[in-house]
């Protein structure tokens, strides 16, 4: 057990106070750097376009408006909050979104007053791209420098972990494996909720001992990694540290629960932890709807000649309708009719429906061709335009199979927190057709938990490559 003497944590944490006092100054420097880059790239783009770095009449006012928008919108996107614990990639992605929003707002405002034609499009485009690159480099360089400083123990926070639960071990390992975060877990407090597998972090005693001595050696932060039923222990710890300048963070041990997009929010001033929900809500749902409708309209427009030829092929190859309509379960468990080009005779399912085994199902000669090439799926873009389906999402299933699978596969119904999709995270990883359904659901839930526009675009771009392999397609 690690033996602590009075003042241990206070003494070691005092080494970090110089940088801690100037954290606000660092944020100011980052803001100044952002503004400087925006102005500099405007001048460089003007030089490249017109041969002079000095902005022509009217352009300085545009730069001023952009600077004001940067000062207003960048903080809203959280670009000046603490970097501790967030990956550089996520920071740069948020910066790219914020800068794009600034330029969109500028163009919309200029269009509203009918002055957008007064400015060179080449200059504005070069300015946008140049600033995007330099702002990304600015943040990446700042992260590297600050991460290097923290990895050497400067500006680090000394942390004591209360509870070696699964959550506790995971967060302690993450802190120790990423020294750039500057979070040094120096010890853990033993509790009745600890799990058998231990940790490399030394023990500082049980909860009673720690509470008795916390006034003498309070750390910078205390991470409480206890299950929700440990409210009595958590309250004791909060009471014992109520007069200490120590940050207390709750890392609830929620492993073992079926969680989906868990997060903390406030409702009417009351903190609420969401244990299960969808990331695709509010603004995200609007963005995804715009993405779906715009891409689907473009695809239908470009492929309409191909779809007409396919419809003709279906009609000539066998009697019956062009479209095959299936009842599927979509968002919030609501039924909708999913469209496909018919690839089978009209009476093939008169004796019942069996999941899977698609390769042995009857199909017309033309139907087998469109099924193998996945061309039978093209009418589903009409479902997307109707708002029943998304381009990217978990593959929707037929109602009778949902009733079977939800009793056998944990978390199966969670995929209905979002719209079903034509393609998805599971499909681009080869989980199409007759594949492991439990594994497919695991990939679907990963998609829901990590959704972003960028992930959707990545899946869309990778889908044609997967289709060319023709694996598990019938």
The residue among 360 and 281 whose pLDDT is bigger is 281
Q: What are phi and psi of 15, to 5 degrees?
A: -65, -20
Nearest Cα residue to 330 out of 294, 384, 254, 260: 384
Tens digits of per-residue pLDDT, 9-22? 444 443 444 444 44
Pairing of strands 183-190, 421-423: unpaired
pTM for the whole structure:
0.53
DSSP string, 210-252: HHHHTTTS--SEEEE---TT-HHHHHHHHHHTTTS--EEEE--
Most trustworthy range by pLDDT among 263-267, 293-297, 469-473: 293-297
pLDDT tens figures, 249-261: 887 766 555 555 6
Which residue shows structure tokens 């033996």?
3
Taking a C-beta distance cutoff of 8 angstroms, is the pair 321, 340 a contact? no
Residue pLDDT, tens place only, 42-99: 999 989 888 887 877 667 888 898 999 998 888 888 787 665 556 677 788 889 999 9
Residue 239 has pLDDT above 70, yes or no: yes
The residue to which tokens 């093939």 are assigned:
348
Task: Kindly write down the DSSP assignment for every residue of 70-114, as one continuous string.
Answer: HHHHHHHTTTTS--TTS-HHHHHHHHHHHHHHHHHHHHHHHHHTT
How many angstroms separate the Cα of 342 from the Cα of each of 312, 346, 354, 371, 372? 11, 8, 17, 9, 13
Q: Tell which wins on pLDDT, 378 or 371.
A: 378
Gap between the Cα atoms of 36 and 28, Å rounded: 12
Q: For 124-144, what is the HEC assignment?
A: HHHHHHHHHHHHHHHHHHHHH
CB 433 within 8 A of CB 395: no
Over residues 236-245, the mean pLDDT reads 78
Tell me the C-alpha distance between 205 and 3, whole Å. Answer: 8
Q: Any idea which residue has 């299950």 for tokens?
A: 227
Domain ranges of the chain: 17-151, 156-256, 283-469
CATH class assigned to 156-256? alpha beta
From the list 334, 377, 346, the residue with the least C-alpha distance to 463 is 377
The confidence band for 302, taking pLDDT boundaries of 50, 70 and 90, is very high
Q: Strand 203-206 and strand 183-190: pairing? A: parallel
Confidence of residue 158 (pLDDT cuts 50, 70, 90): confident
Distances in Å between the Cα of 99 and the Cα atoms of 79, 122, 445 are: 11, 17, 30
The Cα-based distances of 58 to 61, 62, 108, 115 in angstroms read: 6, 7, 17, 10
Distances 377 to 17, 419, 459, 467 between C-alpha atoms, Å: 61, 16, 16, 12
Which among 344, 365, 341, 340 has a CA at the least distance from the CA of 353? 344
Band (37; pLDDT cuts 50, 70, 90): very high
pLDDT at 386: 92
């Amino acid at each position: 057990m690690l033996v602590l003497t009075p003042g241990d944590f206070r003494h070691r944490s005092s080494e970090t106070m110089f940088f801690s006092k100037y954290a606000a100054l660092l944020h100011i420097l980052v803001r100044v750097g952002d503004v400087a880059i925006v102005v500099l790239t405007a001048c460089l783009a003007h030089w490249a376009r017109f041969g002079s770095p000095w902005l022509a009449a009217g352009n300085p006012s545009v730069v001023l408006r952009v600077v004001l928008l940067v000062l207003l919108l960048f903080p809203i996107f959280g670009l000046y909050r603490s970097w501790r614990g967030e990956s550089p990639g996520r920071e740069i992605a948020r910066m790219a979104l914020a800068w794009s929003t600034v330029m969109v707002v500028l163009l919309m405002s200029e269009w509203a007053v009918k002055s957008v034609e007064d400015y060179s499009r080449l200059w504005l485009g070069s300015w946008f791209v140049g600033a995007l690159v330099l702002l990304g480099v600015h943040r990446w360089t700042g992260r590297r420098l600050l991460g290097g400083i923290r990895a050497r123990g400067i500006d680090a926070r000394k942390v004591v972990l209360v509870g070696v639960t699964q959550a506790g071990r995971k967060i302690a390992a993450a802190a120790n494996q990423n020294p750039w975060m500057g979070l040094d877990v120096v010890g853990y407090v033993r509790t009745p909720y600890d799990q058998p597998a231990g940790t490399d972090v030394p023990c500082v005693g049980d909860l009673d001992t720690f509470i008795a001595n916390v006034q003498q050696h309070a750390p910078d932060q205390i991470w409480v990694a206890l299950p929700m039923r440990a409210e009595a222990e958590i309250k004791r710890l909060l009471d014992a540290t109520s007069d200490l300048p120590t940050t207390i963070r709750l890392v609830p041990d929620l492993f073992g629960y079926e969680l989906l997009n868990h997060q903390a929010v406030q409702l009417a001033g009351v903190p609420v932890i969401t244990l299960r929900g969808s990331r695709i809500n509010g603004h995200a749902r609007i963005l995804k709807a715009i993405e779906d409708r715009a891409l689907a309209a473009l695809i239908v427009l470009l492929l309409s000649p191909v779809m007409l030829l396919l419809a003709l092929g279906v009609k000539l190859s066998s009697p019956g309708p062009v479209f095959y309509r299936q009842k599927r379960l979509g968002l919030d468990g609501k039924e909708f009719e999913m469209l496909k080009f018919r690839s089978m005779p009209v009476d093939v399912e008169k004796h019942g429906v069996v999941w899977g085994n698609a390769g042995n199902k009857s199909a017309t000669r033309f139907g087998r061709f469109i099924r193998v090439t996945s061309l039978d799926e093209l009418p589903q873009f009409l479902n997307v335009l109707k708002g029943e389906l998304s381009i990217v999402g978990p593959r929707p299933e037929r109602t009778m199979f949902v009733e079977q699978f939800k009793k056998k596969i944990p978390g199966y119904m969670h995929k209905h927190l979002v719209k079903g999709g034509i393609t998805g995270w599971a499909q681009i990883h080869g989980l199409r057709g007759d594949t492991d359904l439990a594994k497919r659901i695991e990939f679907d839930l990963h998609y829901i938990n990590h959704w972003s526009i960028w992930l959707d675009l990545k899946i869309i771009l990778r889908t044609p490559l997967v289709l060319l392999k023709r694996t598990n397609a019938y």
